[in-house]
């Protein structure tokens, strides 16, 4: 099985000005592609060669895990966005956010604090457990909460390559603009699975 870079559901310039075409070209077109290419090289001739990406993330370690998780994480990240996003959650997800964080605004504030405060490179995630309760977790480097039995719903990439072209070293500005392209319809669908 050869893993491929999935085609984005929007044009490279569709998320501007919040995420520029140049950022998409580098972050998706070069960084994400490199993780996919490295993974394919690393799994050749191993038992991982015939596994779907999610299974590799759950079972691998070392360089195979790092590249598989980065490929999975980036796909999950980029497929959360829309140039015409649903700007707020509704239904069961909105109720769960209110229950577990107090309000949507309080959730956003806590998520942003976690993402801004993550030292070095990594990811901040909104996850649900097997009972549907929500929490915010941060993972360093290529960390993925599926390895802890959690269901990912939303993530933000806080590796510098995710934001340096558009925001330089201003991670909080990147986080503020992230909310403007998150499509809560996608996040709701993930929660209902």
First-to-last C-alpha distance (Å) of the chain: 26
Domain definitions of the chain by residue range:
21-78, 91-192
Compute the average pLDDT of residues 35-48.
98
**Segment 77-91, tens digit of pLDDT:** 999 999 999 999 999
**Segment 127-172, tens digit of pLDDT:** 999 999 999 999 999 999 999 999 999 999 999 999 999 999 999 9
Compute the average pLDDT of residues 87-107.
98
Element holding 97 (H helix, E strand) = helix 91-101
Quickly state the pLDDT bin for 178 (edges 50, 70, 90).
very high
Q: Look at domain 91-192 and name its CATH class.
A: alpha beta
Enter the CATH code of domain 21-78: 1.10.287.990
Q: What is the phi-psi region of residue 122: left when phi exceeds 0, alpha when psi lies from -120 to 50, beta otherwise?
A: left
Choose among 144, 1, 118: nearest CA to 61. 144
Beta strands in 3-133 (DSSP E): 122-128
Q: DSSP labels for 119-146?
A: -SSEEEEEEE-TTS-EEEEEEETT--GG
Q: Decide if pLDDT at 36 tops 90.
A: yes
Quickly state the pLDDT bin for 181 (edges 50, 70, 90).
very high
- The pLDDT assigned to 110 comes to 98
- The pLDDT assigned to 18 comes to 98
- The pLDDT assigned to 1 comes to 85
pTM beyond cutoff 0.75: yes
Percent of the chain with pLDDT over 70: 100
Cα angle vertex 148, ends 92, 89, to 5°? 20
d(CA 173, CA 180): 12
Q: Across the chain, what does the average pLDDT equal?
A: 98
Note whether 63 and 41 are within 8 A (CB): no
Note whether 126 and 100 are within 8 A (CB): no
């Amino acid at each position: 099985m050869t893993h491929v870079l999935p085609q984005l559901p929007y044009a490279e310039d569709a998320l501007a000005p919040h995420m520029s075409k140049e950022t998409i070209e580098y972050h998706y077109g070069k960084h994400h592609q490199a993780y996919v290419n490295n993974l394919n090289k690393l799994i050749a001739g191993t038992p991982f060669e015939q596994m779907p990406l999610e299974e590799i993330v759950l079972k691998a370690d070392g360089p195979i895990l790092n590249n598989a998780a980065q490929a999975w994480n980036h796909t999950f990240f980029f497929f959360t966005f829309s140039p015409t996003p649903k700007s707020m959650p509704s239904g069961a997800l909105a109720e769960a956010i209110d229950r577990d964080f107090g309000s949507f605004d309080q959730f956003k504030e806590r998520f942003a604090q976690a993402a801004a405060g993550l030292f070095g490179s990594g990811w901040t995630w909104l996850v649900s457990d097997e009972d549907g309760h929500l929490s915010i977790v941060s993972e360093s480097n290529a960390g993925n909460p599926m390895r802890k039995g959690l269901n990912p719903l939303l993530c933000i990439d806080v590796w510098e390559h995710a934001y340096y072209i558009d925001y330089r070293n201003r991670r909080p500005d990147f986080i503020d603009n992230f909310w403007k392209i998150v499509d809560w319809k996608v996040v709701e669908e993930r929660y209902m699975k």
